Amino acid sequence: MTDRRLLKQILTIVILFCGCLTAQIGNLERKVEGNAIISESDPKVRIELPKSVQYVGADRWVLYGIADYELHAFVEADERKNVQRLYWVQFEGYIPTKPKLKRTEKRIFAYLFIRL
């Protein structure tokens, strides 16, 4: 299987996954402006991706009953709209209803995955 075909399959899975999971938490906490994701808190960060990316969507849900999970997906495509790169940005942290999992500091993580 070629890398491009694998990338297309991964993107299809991400889009279907996001579409099938209705947001259990509500609205997205982060906002997207062009090629940038802006998070005002937990963590306060602005993540800028290459100008050539296209935003394909986001979702937010409770993962395994313990984590608040927010996913944003971007792609770079060629002139024939074939996906060349997938950018997967996720934010996660423990939900407030799980006090046993809380630590002294609030832990929110942001990850960026790039598939070339």
| Reported pTM | 0.69
Q: In which domain, by residue range, is 29 found?
A: 3-115
| DSSP 3-state of 59 | strand
The predicted structure's pLDDT at residue 24: 47
CA torsion angle 17 20 25 29 (round to 10): 50
Q: What is the pLDDT of residue 11?
A: 59
**Residues in contact with 8: Cβ distance below 8 Å, sequence separation at least 6, in sequence order:** 82, 83
Number of compact structural domains in the chain: 1
- Is residue 114's pLDDT more than 80? no
Could you tell me which of 105, 114, 93 has the C-alpha nearest to residue 47?
114
Helix ranges, the chain (H): 3-20
pLDDT tens profile 22-80? 434 558 999 999 999 999 988 889 999 999 999 999 999 998 888 888 999 999 999 99
Whether residue 105 has pLDDT greater than 60: no
